[in-house]
Copies of this chain bind each other. A is one copy, B any other.
Amino acid sequence: MTDTRRDETANWFAQLRDRICTAFEKLEDEHQGAHGDRPAGRFERKSWERPAEPGQERGGGGGTMAMMHGRVFEKVGVNISAVHGVFNEEFRKQIPGAAADGRFWAGGISLVAHMHSPLVPAVHMNTRYIVTTQAWFGGGTDLTPMIPNPEDAQAFHDALRRTCDLHDRAYYPRFKQWCDEYFFIKHRGEPRGAGGIFFDNLNTGDWPRDFAFVRDVGTTFLDTYPLIVRRHMNETWTEEQRRDQLVRRGRYVEFNLLYDRGTAFGLKTSGNVDAILMSLPPVVMWP
């Protein structure tokens, strides 16, 4: 039973990855704005295998990074992974269901897009399924505008609220607030972006229902973000706006390296450094 669920989720993450890559390449094809003289971008895939933790014989699995450097997408990574192993002592205490038995399986999809245009928001989406002696889903998606645009943020949140409400009326307010709290740059006292939803340890006891919600988060992202990109990708921007974007990206780096649990978790569990740090923007300024 459990193995079927691992296969089902891993298959879904790969399928979603394929659909997202196709949709993003379509945006590259349609583009007519700046850098239009460059060829439309295409994803390149690279697989990696995970070594066992030091001192552990068991371990393994791996993932596939799909990266594109295009004319709309300055740098976008869509990574899937399915890894298994044994948590070390430090992590056992922190991870639900791992205290007595440190074995784990973790599968997921993780996406970060940094855009050429400062008028197109950056975006992050991640969903995952974790199995220890317990099992749960986690994930979310959030928008990081470089120049505030209330309409984009509204459209993004509206779509997420509609999806959440189909599953549980309590989800959107709870997961929106969780997102606001999580993606907060403490030392600057400012949010990373315009928010979205964030959830973890999701296990209602009804696995098919939870998995359906997680799939819907993925498809909602797929249906919504390209609309926002399409709305702005052909607009012209100024050098000053581009500069503001590069500075704003610095805040993104600060958050990811100082506070993001996924980044710390990945680096501490001998994750694939390139896959973990693909979230970092292609060009950044701290003037």
Interface string of A260-287 (1 = CB under 8 A from B): 0000000100000100110011111111
Which residues of A156-188 are within 8 A (CB) of B? 186-188
A254 proximal to B (CB < 8 A):
yes
Question: When the two chains form the complex, which single residue of B186, B273, B285 contacts A187, counting CB atoms closer than 8 Å?
Answer: B273
Contact of A273 among B188, B246, B276, B284 (CB under 8 A): B188
Distance in angstroms between the alpha carbons of A12 and B284 in the assembled complex: 35
Q: Quick one: closest B residue to A186, CB to CB?
A: B267
Instruction: Say whether A257 faces chain B, with CB atoms less than 8 Å apart.
Output: yes
Q: For A282, list chain B residues within 8 Å (CB).
A: 285-287
A250 within 8 A of B: yes
Bound Cα distance A89, B12 (Å): 46
Closest to A114 in B: B286
- List the number of copies, as a whole number: 2
Flag whether A212 is at the interface (Cβ < 8 A). no
* A227 sits at the interface (CB 8 A): no
| Size category of the binding interface on chain A | 20 to 34
* Assembled-state Cα–Cα distance A276/B286 (Å): 12
CB <8 Å contact, A285 and B286: no
Partner of A250, one of B187, B188, B280: B280
- Asked if A258 lies at the interface with its beta carbon under 8 angstroms from chain B, I say yes
Question: A222 contacts the other chain (Cβ, under 8 Å)?
Answer: no
Is A253's CB within 8 Å of the partner chain B?
A: yes
Bound Cα distance from A197 to B212, whole angstroms = 56
**Taking each of A254, A282, A284, A287, which has the highest tally of chain B beta carbons within 10 Å of its own beta carbon?**
A284
- In the bound assembly, the distance between CA atoms of A63 and B188 in angstroms comes to 19
Chain B: CB-nearest residue to A287:
B282
Q: Residues of B contacting A267 with CB < 8 Å?
A: 186-187, 258
Q: How far is the CB of A188 from chain B (nearest CB, A)?
A: 6
Least CB distance from A113 to B in Å reads: 14
Residues of chain A from 67 to 89 with CB closer than 8 A to chain B in the complex:
69, 75
Tell me which residues across on chain B come within 8 A of A253, comparing CB atoms: 253, 257, 284
> A44 CA to B257 CA in the complex, in Å?
29
Task: Name the distance in Å between A19's Cβ and chain B's nearest Cβ.
Answer: 26
Contact between B286 and A281, CB atoms less than 8 A apart: yes
Contact with B along A230-261 (1 / 0, CB 8 A): 00000000000000001000100110011000
21 contacts between A and B (CB under 8 A): A69-B287, A187-B267, A187-B273, A187-B276, A188-B273, A253-B253, A253-B284, A254-B257, A254-B277, A258-B258, A258-B267, A277-B286, A280-B286, A281-B286, A282-B285, A282-B287, A283-B283, A283-B284, A283-B285, A284-B284, A284-B285
Query: 4 smallest A-B Cβ distances: which pairs?
Result: A257-B257, A280-B286, A187-B267, A284-B284
